[in-house]
Every structure is written in C-alpha cells, then in structure tokens.
Amino acid sequence: MTPRCSRRQAIDLAFAGTLFLILTTLVLVTPGTPAGPWALALTVTLAAVQAGALIPMREHPEASMAVAIAAGIGLEVLMPELGYLGQASAVLAAYARVRTPRRSVPVLALLIAGAPWETAGGGDWRNLLLGVAGPTIGWSLGELGRTRALRREDERRAIAAQERTRIARELHDVLAHTVSVIVVQAQAAEDVFDRRPDQARKALTTIGTAARSTLQELRVLLHTLSEDTGELGPQPGLDRLAALAESMDATGLRVELETVKVSVPAAVDLSAYRIVQESLTNTLRHSHATRARVTVTCSPAEVSVEIRDDGPARPAGRVSGSGQRGIVGMQERARLLGGTLDAGPTPGGGFRVRAAFPREAMVAA
C-alpha cells in the first residue's frame, strides 16, 4: 500500500465517519424517531450503510451509489421526517467526483425523478423543493471537484513535460561536452602513443571514464522525448554550489554549505545542482527566510542533497503557484534518474527539500 493510497483511504474513512455522525444525530433529534428498539437499531444500521458507501466509492462507484440509494429508500420508509433518502445527496457528490457527467447525470435524474413521491404521501411543496435541490447541489459540488482535479492534473503534466524538455536540452549539453573530451583525449593518445606510452595510457583511462559517463547520459536521454537541443556547452554541477551560495548572499539570503566531495555521473551532478538552485530560488520568492543550509551527503546506498530554510511556519501542503510548479519540476528531475524528492514545511518552521539518488542507478552499463 503506497502512502498516497493510505492517505486517500484515511480521507474516505473520515468523510464516512462524519456522514454517519450527522445521520445518527438527525435520527435521534428529528421528530418521528422510530419508537421501538429494533426499528431504531435498523434505522441506525441503514445510516451506517449509507455513510459506509463512501469508503469503496473510488474502486466501485456504481455499486456504492446503488447501496447508498437502497439504504436511503429504507430510511425513507422507516423515518420520512429524516429527509429525502437520508443523505444520498452527499454520496452523489462523491460519485460525481469520480465519474464523468455521462455516468453521474442519469443518477442525478433518477434521484430528482423520485422527489415528487415526497408530496404523494402528504408532504408539502417544501419537501419537493428539498428533494430536487439536495441532489442537484450534491452533484454540482462533486462535478466541480472532478473538474478542478482534472485541471490540476493537466497542469502537473504540462509542468512535467516542460521540465523534461529542459532536462533533455541540458543533457544534450552534457553529452556534447563529454564527447568533446573523448575526442580531445583520443587525439592526445594518438600523438604520444609511441613516445610517451604513460601519457597515452592516462588519456585512454580518461576516455574510458568519459565513455561510461556518456552511456549513463544516453540512458537518461532516451527517457526524455524532446527535439529541442538548445546550445552546446558544459553545465554546472555540485562543485558550483559555493558560487551559487555567494550569489544568494548578495540578495540577503545567507546560505551555509555542508558538502562532501562525491563523484557522480554528470546527469546526477547537474540535476542535484538544479534542485538546489530551484529550492533556494523558491525560498527567495515565497518565504521570508534569511538563512538556508545546503547539505550534500553520500552513503553506500545513495547520494542526497537537502535544503532547509528558517522561514516562518506554514500549514502542511500550503504551496501554490510557481512554488508548486518548481516542486513538480524537481520531482520530475529526480524521478528520471531513479531518485526521489520530498518537499514540505517542517514542524518547527521553515521549509525542507530533500532529493536522493540511488547509487545503483549511477553504475554505467
């Protein structure tokens, strides 16, 4: 079970529990509560069934909606004063959240079509109005949530595509630089092969190292589909962090470095630098932090970079606009190299970004 699935299940359970509490409260305080203990127990059980239909809604929406309507009919029979089909409108909102209008509108029409029965049993026009307005409002809220979620997903995909284009351009630059090194060293080895075999051997060793690095770059490049190659030239890496920190100092953000010298493929070197650069830029744009710490660590399993700032505390997940786009781009960089990236506020205030690149992914084929 992934953390994302666990979080969704926790949210579904929370909504189901809340709806059950609302229904149970209405059953107990609304005039017309069933007098007998068995009738009351059955009414509460149907309320639990209707609320529980929210839990499997993502995996089995049609079955969940059918169960909620059936439970609502039972509630209508046992306790008409409770309201039209209990809280079926709330379940309809969840159904419309996961299904397109082609599926959800017929369910809405079915619920509205049953509303006139509210007046057939002696009810007044207010019951009919509530019977029509309740499902309509529920469906509208669900559809609004669905379209907003689709819009966020489209934005995330667009950001990821833009970042892949940028990564492809930068990898092209790295590859061009590496191949240039191979050509120069090969020419040098040919010139001194007979007179200075030790220098020729050194040049061939350099070629082998550069070639292995190039194979790694090609493997990554094949994962990024882009025709935009940009300009040629070497790109920065972790050895440029000191210069980056100095440039940030000039803007009022003091950056402390805690790094170790580590040899990584050029793609990892570049991506790690870009993640640090983007994180510090986000700190300047979106936080009132005055200090930041950049830590580069190396273990047998992974190479990681961590950026922390001392900005004010903020609610978890409260990142939007260009800051959110920057995080999505950084996550895409790490993912393309087999790594991970976590970002979010820290409990004591400030913001933390940590990217980890597994060392096994750095071994050239």
Question: What would the pLDDT profile of 307-337 be if each residue is shown by its tens digit?
Answer: 999 887 665 554 544 456 678 878 888 888 8
Q: Which of 15-24, 42-51, 74-83 has the lowest mean pLDDT?
A: 74-83
State the average pLDDT for the chain. Answer: 78
Quote the strand ranges of 134-290, DSSP E.
254-258
Whether the per-residue pLDDT at 223 is higher than 60: the answer is no
The span from the CA of 84 to the CA of 132, in Å, is 9
Confidence (pLDDT) at 231: 41
Rounded to two decimals, the pTM is 0.51
Whether the per-residue pLDDT at 18 is higher than 80: the answer is yes
The span from the CA of 150 to the CA of 44, in Å, is 36
Residue percentage of the chain with pLDDT more than 90: 14
Confidence (pLDDT) at 214: 61
Q: In this structure, which amino acid lies at residue 363?
A: V
* DSSP at 352: E
> What helix, strand, coil percent values describe the chain, rounded to 5?
65, 10, 25
Confidence (pLDDT) at 176: 57
Instruction: Show Cβ contacts of residue 30 under 8 Å, excluding neighbours closer than 6 positions.
Output: 79, 81, 82
Exposure class string for 14-47: b at 16+ Cβ within 10 A, else e = ebbeebbeebeebbeeeeebeeeeeebeebbebb
End-to-end CA distance of the chain: 32
Confidence (pLDDT) at 227: 38
Quote the strand ranges of the chain, DSSP E.
254-258, 291-298, 302-309, 340-345, 351-358
Whether the per-residue pLDDT at 79 is higher than 90: the answer is no
The angle subtended at Cα 31 by Cα 27 and Cα 37, nearest 5°, is 55
- Write out the two tokens for 83: 């309201």
Confidence of residue 228 (pLDDT cuts 50, 70, 90): very low
Alpha carbon of 168 to those of 7, 225, 226, 245, 270: distances in Å?
33, 8, 6, 26, 12
Length of the chain: 365
226 in Cβ contact with 164 (< 8 Å): yes
Q: Which of 61-65, 164-168, 196-200, 306-310 has the lowest mean pLDDT?
A: 164-168
Confidence (pLDDT) at 320: 47
105 against 266, higher pLDDT: 105
Please, which residues bridge with residue 353 across strands? Answer: 307, 343
Confidence of residue 256 (pLDDT cuts 50, 70, 90): very high
Instruction: Show Cβ contacts of residue 251 under 8 Å, excluding neighbours closer than 6 positions.
Output: 284
> Which of 164-168, 182-186, 343-347, 359-363 has maximum average pLDDT?
343-347
Closest CA to 298 of 336, 264, 335: 264
* DSSP at 362: G
Instruction: Show Cβ contacts of residue 63 under 8 Å, excluding neighbours closer than 6 positions.
Output: 56
Give residue-wise pLDDT tens across range 133-192: 888 888 999 999 999 988 888 887 887 777 677 766 666 656 655 666 666 667 777 777
The span from the CA of 158 to the CA of 176, in Å, is 27
